[in-house]
C-alpha cells in the first residue's frame, strides 16, 4: 500500500493497563513501518511516550459485558467501541481492533458498518495451525444459531475467506459435530448438512469431531457461536496447560547438569515450540462479513497478544478482505 495503513485500537476494558498494551501495540510497528495506530483509551493511564506513528483519542467509557443491546446501541455512544466503529464507518481508519465484548462488536458492526448484499450475519473466524496446513473455524462466538440456513451461509463465508486470504483453491468444508455419522447431532446440523451437500460451490466433506479438526479433514470448520466459542476456549486452555506443564517439568530438572547439557543443543527448537504453544501469539479473531476490518482481541490479552491482533488487522487491510468477500458473494 502506498499510503499508511491506519488502525485504531480500543484498549478500554482490558485486564492489563493501557500502558502495558501500548507497548505491545508499539511492537507491531516494528513489523509494519507504514502503519499508523490510534489508541482509544484513558490518556491518564499512559506512562509510555507516544511516537509519531501513534495518536491518542481520550475516552473513559466502554461497553461492559453485562450491557444490554439497547445500552450498547443507544446509551453508550461515547464508549470507546462506538468511537472506533464510527471512525471505521467514516473512513478515518481502515481497521479496528477491540478488547471489548464480542456481542457488542457484533451488534455495532451490523448497525454501523452493515453487511454486503447476500450476507445476513457476520461471523467470527480464526485461523489455526493444523498438522498438514492451516484451517479456519467459524463462528467462534458472535451468533447463537437457530437456523440451518445460517450455518449454510457461514460455510460460504468460510470458503470465501479461505480462498481469498488463505489462497486455498477449493476449500473443503466440514460441520463440527459429536460424530461423523449422518444420524449424529441435532436436527440443526443434519439439516444444514443436507443443504451443503446440495450446494455446488461448496466442497462439503461431512461432519468432523472436535478431536479431529487438526488432522486436516477440512480447510473450513463450521459451527454455531456457542459451540465454536467453547471449542476455541477449550483449545486455548489445553494449549496453555500443556505449555505450563512442560515449563514446570523443565524447571524441576534445572539443577540436573546432565539435563542442562541435553537441553543446550535443542534450545532453539524449544524456543520455537514455546512460541507455537503461546496462545497469546495467536490472539485476534476476525469478523468476516462486515463492510470493514474488525478484529476481536481477548480482554485478557498480553503485550504479545496485542501485537498479534494488530498484525491480523493490518494483514486483512492489506489484503482488502471485505472487498474480496463482497466480490465473492456478488458472483453468485
- Set out the domains of the chain in order of their start, with CATH numbers: 1-119+289-322 (3.40.718.10), 125-281 (3.40.718.10)
C-beta separation of 204 from 196 below 8 A: yes
Give pLDDT, residue 31. Answer: 80
Q: What pTM, to 2 d.p., does this model score? A: 0.88
Is the Cβ–Cβ distance between 218 and 174 less than 8 Å? yes
List, for the chain, all residue ranges whose pLDDT scores fall below the cut of 70.
1-2, 47-53, 250-279, 332
Q: Which DSSP helix (H) or strand (E) runs through 25?
A: helix 18-31
The residue among 90, 93, 157 whose CA lies nearest residue 126 is: 157
Residue with cell 473466524: 125
Q: In what order do the strands lie in the sheet with 95-98?
A: 54-58, 35-41, 5-10, 95-98, 293-296, 285-288, 123-128, 135-138, 220-222, 172-176, 203-208
What is the C-alpha to C-alpha distance for residues 12 and 227, in angstroms, rounded to an integer?
27
pLDDT tens for each residue of 68-82: 878 888 878 889 999
- Nearest CA-CA partner of 297 in 25, 3, 4, 6: 25
Looking up cell 473443503 gives 172
Q: How far is CA 39 from CA 8, 24, 45, in A?
A: 6, 12, 12
C-alpha cell at 218: 477440512
Q: What are the backbone dihedrals phi and psi of residue 27, each rounded to the nearest 5 degrees, phi first?
A: -60, -30
Smallest CA-to-CA distance from 88 within 283, 284, 285, 295 is with: 295
Amino acid at each position: 500500500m502506498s499510503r499508511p495503513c491506519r488502525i485504531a485500537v480500543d484498549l478500554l476494558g482490558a485486564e492489563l493497563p493501557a500502558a502495558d498494551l501500548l507497548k505491545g501495540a508499539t511492537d507491531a510497528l516494528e513489523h509494519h513501518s507504514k502503519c499508523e495506530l490510534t489508541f482509544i483509551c484513558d490518556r491518564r493511564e499512559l506512562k509510555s511516550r507516544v511516537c509519531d506513528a501513534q495518536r491518542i483519542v481520550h475516552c473513559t467509557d466502554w461497553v461492559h459485558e453485562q450491557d444490554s443491546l439497547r445500552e450498547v446501541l443507544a446509551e453508550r455512544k461515547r464508549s470507546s467501541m462506538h468511537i472506533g466503529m464510527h471512525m471505521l464507518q467514516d473512513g478515518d481508519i481502515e481497521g479496528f481492533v477491540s478488547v471489548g465484548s464480542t456481542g457488542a462488536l457484533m451488534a455495532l458492526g451490523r448497525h454501523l458498518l452493515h453487511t454486503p448484499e447476500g450476507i445476513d450475519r457476520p461471523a467470527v473466524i480464526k485461523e489455526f495451525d493444523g498438522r498438514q496446513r492451516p484451517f479456519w473455524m467459524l463462528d467462534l462466538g458472535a451468533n447463537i444459531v437457530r437456523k440451518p440456513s445460517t450455518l449454510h451461509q457461514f460455510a460460504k463465508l468460510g470458503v470465501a475467506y479461505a480462498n481469498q486470504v488463505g489462497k486455498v483453491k477449493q476449500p473443503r468444508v466440514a460441520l463440527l459435530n459429536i460424530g461423523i455419522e449422518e444420524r449424529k447431532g441435532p436436527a440443526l446440523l443434519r439439516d444444514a448438512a443436507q443443504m451443503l451437500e446440495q450446494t455446488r460451490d461448496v466442497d462439503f466433506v461431512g461432519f468432523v469431531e472436535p478431536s479431529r479438526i487438526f488432522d486436516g479433514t477440512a480447510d473450513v470448520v463450521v459451527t454455531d457461536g456457542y459451540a465454536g466459542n467453547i471449542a476455541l476456549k477449550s483449545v486455548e486452555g489445553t494449549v496453555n496447560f500443556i505449555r505450563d506443564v512442560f515449563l514446570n517439568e523443565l524447571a524441576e530438572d534445572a539443577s540436573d547438569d546432565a539435563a542442562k547439557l541435553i537441553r543446550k543443543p535443542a534450545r532453539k527448537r524449544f524456543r520455537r515450540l514455546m512460541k507455537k504453544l503461546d496462545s497469546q501469539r495467536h490472539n485476534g479473531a476476525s469478523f468476516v462479513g462486515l463492510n470493514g476490518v474488525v478484529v476481536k482481541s481477548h480482554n485478557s490479552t498480553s503485550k504479545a497478544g496485542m501485537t498479534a491482533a494488530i498484525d491480523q488487522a493490518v494483514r486483512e487491510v492489506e489484503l482488502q478482505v471485505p472487498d474480496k468477500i463482497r466480490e465473492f458473494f456478488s458472483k453468485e
